[in-house]
Amino acid sequence: MIIVNILTKGFDSPNGLAFLFPIILFKSELKYKFKIKIYTTINKQIENCDFLLIESKYFRSKWQSSQNQILKQFREWKEKQIKVIFCDTTDSASWLKSDIIEHVYKYAKGQLLNDKNLYLKPIYANRVYAEYYHNRKKVSDKNIELSTPINKGSIKKLCLSWNSGLSNYSVLAPLLYRYIPLNFAKKIFKFSRKFVSPDKPRDLINCRFGNTYHLESIRYQRNEIRRILSDYTKTDKLNRLTYFKEMQRSLVSIVPFGYGEITLKDFESFLNGCILMKPKMSHMKTWPNFYIANETFVPFSWNLNDLRNCIETVKRNYEKFKEISVNGQELYKKYTVSKEAPELFTEHFEDLVS
Task: Please report, for the domain that includes residue 273, its CATH number.
Answer: 3.40.50.2000
CB neighbourhood size of 330 (10 A): 14
- Tell me if residue 345 falls in helix, strand or coil: helix
Domain for residue 20, yes or no?
no
Domain for residue 224, yes or no?
yes
Q: Select from 54, 82, 83 the least CA-distant residue to 70.
A: 54
- Tell me if residue 34 falls in helix, strand or coil: strand
pLDDT tens column, 7-33:
999 898 899 999 999 999 999 999 999
Side by side, the strands of the sheet bearing 2-7 are: 34-39, 2-7, 51-55, 84-88, 106-109, 158-160
Concatenating the DSSP letter of every residue in 89-112 gives --S-SS---HHHHTTSSEEEESEE
55 vs 175, more confident: 55
Average pLDDT, the chain: 95
Would the pLDDT of 61 be above 80? Answer: no
Domain for residue 203, yes or no?
yes
Would the pLDDT of 65 be above 90? Answer: no
Tell me, what's the pLDDT at 175? 79
Tell me, what's the pLDDT at 177? 85
**106-109 and 51-55 strand pairing:** unpaired
- Contact assessment for residue 52 and residue 83, using Cβ atoms and an 8 Å cutoff: yes
**Structural domain count, the chain:** 1
Tell me, what's the pLDDT at 188? 85
Domain span holding position 240: 190-336
Concatenating the DSSP letter of every residue in 211-271 gives ---SSHHHHHHHHHHHHHTTTTS--S---HHHHHHHHTTEEEEE---SSSS--HHHHHHHH
189 vs 291, more confident: 291
Q: Please name the amino acid found at residue 170.
A: S
Domain for residue 315, yes or no?
yes
Would the pLDDT of 309 be above 90? Answer: yes
Tell me, what's the pLDDT at 64? 79
**How sure is the predictor about 295, in pLDDT bands with cuts at 50, 70 and 90?**
very high
User: In three state form, how does the secondary structure of 150-161 look?
Assistant: CCHHHHHHEEEC
pLDDT tens column, 140-150:
999 999 999 99
Domain for residue 299, yes or no?
yes
Which residues lie across from 2 on neighbouring strands?
A: 34
Q: Residue range 43-64: average pLDDT?
A: 91
Domain for residue 283, yes or no?
yes
**How sure is the predictor about 103, in pLDDT bands with cuts at 50, 70 and 90?**
very high
Would the pLDDT of 268 be above 90? Answer: yes
Tell me, what's the pLDDT at 63? 80
Distance in angstroms (rounded) separating the CA atoms of residues 13 and 71:
23
* Element holding 77 (H helix, E strand): helix 63-79
Domain for residue 230, yes or no?
yes
Would the pLDDT of 217 be above 80? Answer: yes
Q: Residue range 251-277: average pLDDT?
A: 98
Length of the chain counted residue by residue: 354
pLDDT tens column, 114-152:
999 999 999 999 999 999 999 999 999 999 999 999 999
Tell me, what's the pLDDT at 339? 97
Domain for residue 325, yes or no?
yes
